[in-house]
Amino acid sequence: MFLVTALSSAAIAFGLGANLPQISRMLRTRSAGGQSAVGWGMGAITNLCLAYVNLAGLGAVLLGAANLATVALCGVAIVLIRRFGAAAKAPAVPADHALDAMLTQELALTREAVEAAQRRRDERRAAQRPATEPADMAVAVA
């Protein structure tokens, strides 16, 4: 019985440790970028089932209450996803500006990183090219 209680306590600690940063990020950035209401709903159902097991099966009131708190956090996350997800619909833009119009920054940052890498490759290739064509190539062309 102690092992079940200890593992359930660890699961609750990990669950809260995973939920709180995601919810605070959604509130801070006002974006649900990449969050899934279905995933959070599955988490809520799982924690609701664990609350039943902890309360009815084990009589562990504190663990059951923590599971119910996690269910409430999952509900908050779903509300935030609905709120910010619906507002995050970007208007239609040309394909070359699609990444700039997105409200999340992950793809824009990836685009900048790819462009910077391309610039470094171009600069390295330009530095490796000779300043002028070799004399034998100039004669062959003429």
**What is the C-alpha separation between 104 and 118, in angstroms, rounded?**
23
**Same domain as 7, residue 54:** yes
Rounded (10°) angle between helices 61-87 and 2-29? 20
**Same domain as 18, residue 39:** yes
**Same domain as 74, residue 8:** yes
**What is the C-alpha separation between 94 and 28, in angstroms, rounded?**
29
**Same domain as 119, residue 55:** no
Count of Cβ atoms closer than 10 Å to residue 59 Cβ: 10
Q: How many domains does the chain have?
A: 2
**Same domain as 116, residue 48:** no
Q: Residue 88: which pLDDT band, with cuts at 50, 70 and 90?
A: very low
**Same domain as 132, residue 79:** no
The residue with tokens 């809260």 is 16
pTM above 0.85, yes or no: no
**Same domain as 73, residue 45:** yes
**Same domain as 108, residue 68:** no
**Same domain as 104, residue 74:** no
**Same domain as 83, residue 128:** no
Mean pLDDT of the chain: 80
Tokens of 39: 């995933």
Q: Please write the tens of the pLDDT for every residue from 20-75.
A: 888 998 898 888 888 889 999 999 999 999 899 989 988 889 888 998 999 999 99
Domain termination residue (choose one: 87, 107, 124): 87
Domain that holds residue 132: 95-141
**For the chain, what's the residue count?**
142
Q: Residue 111: which pLDDT band, with cuts at 50, 70 and 90?
A: confident
Please report, for the domain that includes residue 10, its CATH number: 1.20.1280
